[in-house]
A and B are shown apart, each in its own frame.
Chain A
Amino acid sequence: MKTGIVGIHNHVMGKVDGLSPAYQVLLLVAVVLCALSVVTSQHKARKLFIELQKEKEQAQKMDVEWGQLQLEQSTWATPARVEQIAVKKLQMQLPKNGQVQFIKVKPNGGTNLQK
């Protein structure tokens, strides 16, 4: 703003000039304190931001790891591998036609099985 600086200066200083010296000192101290706190909070903000970045990086790493674990799990659990181990190692076999029985659950919780 073109009218800004000078106008504000006159406006504010006009008022300050009218204040008692003690009051002026008090304001000066307050200004200095404010300035210092701006510096410290800026510093804190930077520090926190760095921490945030680290956490983000960590999150990304974990994301990557999760993807790899997911892949690993699905690779170990492919139906082909499970079947091969079941048949060859554990000597299991698929139920032949007719070896599977279906149990129908009636609404009252009973089944078609004979006790």
Chain B
Amino acid sequence: MNYASSAQPVITAKLPEWRATALFAVLLAGLAGLLGRGVYLQGIHDDFLQEKGNARYSRVIEVGAHRGLISDRNGEPLAVSTPVESVWASPPDVDADRQQIKKLAQILGMDSKEVKNRLFDTSRDFVYLKRLLPPDQVEKVVNLNLPGVMLQREYRRYYPLGEEAAQTLGFTGQDDIGQEGMEFALQEQLAGKPGSQRVIKDNRGYIVEDAGSLNASKPGSDIMLSLDNNLQHIAYREIENTVNQHHAKSGAVVVLDARSGEVLALANYPGYNPNNRGNTSSKAMRNRAITDLFEPGSTLKPFTVATAIETGKVNPHTVINTENGIYTLGGSKIHDSHPESMLTVEQVIQKSSNIGAAKIALKLKSGTMWEGLSNSGFGEQTGSNFPGEAPGKLRDPKTWRPIEQATMAYGHGISVNLLQLARAYTIFATDGELKPISLLKLNGPVTGKKVFSKRTVSEIRHMMEMVVLPGGTAPLAQVAGYRVAGKTGTAHKLENGHYVDHYIASFVGFAPASDPRLVVAVMIDDPAGPDYYGGEVAGPAFSKIMGDALHALNVPNDAPANNVVAPPKEIVKEEV
């Protein structure tokens, strides 16, 4: 055999050149593609991947900010936010036996059937068991260690004084937003700004690195009010007693610092408990001393008289013919319940003579009288910035008829709020300055607007001291150890434009008269007992509040301790 010939021939046929080239090109293209993709992912489109990577371990957490604290002028808390826990459950994850459920229900003070229903309501992923739980109960829930039952932190606002300062402080609603009173007025400062922060967590959930905050959180600022919790208590206690004793509808008290115009106490009765509002009526929530208007009655007389003295029309000893109790003017009659033929200007204030005040007013031009009242702050805001403050009504003097000017002299046909009236009395408690009102604590005295001269003021002050002496309308307003000056008011209430036989009894005064520190205004709405005169109803309340407050503030006596003169059997009554 010729193997040689049959031996396989060396394959000499070469593969076509292009195949190698093509393969090389394909591989090169593949490499280029991979490199390109690599560059693209690493260099150009890296944000997306970075984000995805971060999402595996970095988290954004909420940083809560709590609402600021409201405190009184001495730093005692009046409204405090404190975190409380709400218990919620994620029904799909719940794993509890009957006994555990029973225990949980016991801790929460709920029906165990109800708890069971909620825990096993698998149609939902989130169900509240109980919101805003006290800390001791929270601890017990934690100790149960039930899977699927969790806690959520929420803030709740507490008011240590309870109903005593309820209407002044107001309250917060859902999500800690102020709804009434100072909580509402100061919402912007009090509210905290929650922020968020990016952090890196490890597999056990610990934060291992702070990756920078997105929004810095800002806790709410703390605010110091001008109130004094001691005085607030005294005011509330006495207004409560007085309203109950005289079967009145309601009552309000304002205590002002005569030198700075700060509100030291502002109480209303009846009140409500802001810690547990339930379904308190909006009536009880109203801060009557600021948002309610009334006709002040005789408490306005000092302003009429001061305007007349200031303009030189009368002096304290000018004798006024008081017409034996009945004076006819423009077809209307003005009465005095305590008829006198002649009274000096001083006695007009002391005995609260309507005829006297009317005649003094008629010596003035209507514009002058209007100016006196307007400068005293009537018909304008007090500057308290309290939400819903009613500025009152002082009509344009061009529209006054003489009879209207006469009745306005003793406080009818004009409406005021109690805070405004108390503020107006700062004129007589100082050397004639009307102080701006502040519900926030101020540092030191404030200069107000000069309204009457020092001389006029000291004359009026003397007349107002006579009011509380025997022969005046309010001997029950005397305070042992202090000289007191003030003025009573008793006015018919206006209902649907008609005067009715219901009254508002008031007393506004200040002490110590030698160097006044406090102005106290008391208003009792509709006393239904046998007494309804300002001197009998509001006077004694004024005396107690003023006496206790002066003691609480350590104000030195300016009179001997036995200065109180027993009131005569028949107290001078003012005409209403």
- Name A's B-contacting residues (CB within 8 A): 46, 49-50, 53, 64, 67-68, 70-71, 74-75, 77-80, 83, 94-102, 104
Contacts and interface: CB of A to CB of B under 8 A. Distances in A.
A50 B200 CA distance: 11
A75 B78 CA distance: 10
Interface of B: 76-77, 80-83, 135, 158, 160-162, 164, 206-210, 229-230, 232-234, 236-237, 479-481, 547-548, 551, 554, 556-557, 561-562, 564
Contacts of B207: 49-50, 53
Given A50-B206, A50-B207, A95-B551, A68 B135 contact: yes
Contact of B206 (A53, A67, A78, A101): A53
B229 A79 contact: yes
Contacts of B556: 102, 104
B161 A97 contact: no
Contacts of B232: 79
Given A97-B479, A102-B556, A102-B557, A83 B233 contact: yes
A53 B200 CA distance: 12
Contacts of A46: 208-209
A46 B209 CA distance: 7
Nearest to B547: A97
A53 B562 CA distance: 67
A46 to B, nearest CB: 5
B77 A74 contact: yes
Contacts of B162: 78, 80
A98 B209 CA distance: 68
Given A53-B207, A79-B233, A97-B564, A70 B547 contact: no
Contacts, number: 75
Contacts of B161: 78, 80
A70 B80 contact: yes
B208 A49 contact: yes
Given A67-B82, A78-B161, A98 B481 contact: yes
A3 to B, nearest CB: 16
A45 to B, nearest CB: 8
Most interface-central of A77, A98, A101 (chain B CB within 10 A) = A98
A80 B238 CA distance: 12
A107 B80 CA distance: 42
B361 to A, nearest CB: 37
A92 B229 CA distance: 21
Closest 7 CB pairs of A and B: A97-B480, A79-B233, A98-B561, A98-B480, A74-B160, A102-B556, A75-B160
Given A49-B209, A64-B82, A79-B229, 11 more contacts: A46-B208, A50-B207, A74-B160, A78-B160, A78-B233, A79-B230, A79-B232, A83-B237, A95-B551, A100-B551, A102-B557
Given A67-B82, A71-B160, A97 B208 contact: no
A80 B434 CA distance: 33
A94 B547 CA distance: 11
Contact of B82 (A68, A96, A98, A102): A68
A56 to B, nearest CB: 9
Nearest to B163: A80
A64 B219 CA distance: 13
A53 B202 CA distance: 13
10 contacts: A49-B209, A64-B82, A71-B158, A74-B160, A78-B164, A79-B230, A83-B237, A97-B479, A97-B561, A101-B561
Contacts of B562: 98
A113 to B, nearest CB: 14
Contacts of B81: 67
A46 B236 CA distance: 57
B548 to A, nearest CB: 7
Contacts of A100: 481, 551, 561
Contacts of B208: 46, 49-50
A78 B81 CA distance: 17
B76 A74 contact: yes
A94 B548 contact: yes
B563 to A, nearest CB: 9
Contacts of B160: 71, 74-75, 78
Most interface-central of B76, B135, B232 (chain A CB within 10 A) = B76
A101 B551 CA distance: 10
Nearest to A53: B207
A101 B208 CA distance: 66
Nearest to B561: A98
B546 to A, nearest CB: 10
A82 B234 CA distance: 12
A61 to B, nearest CB: 10
B224 to A, nearest CB: 14
Contacts of A53: 206-207
A83 B229 CA distance: 13
Contacts of A79: 229-230, 232-234
B43 to A, nearest CB: 12
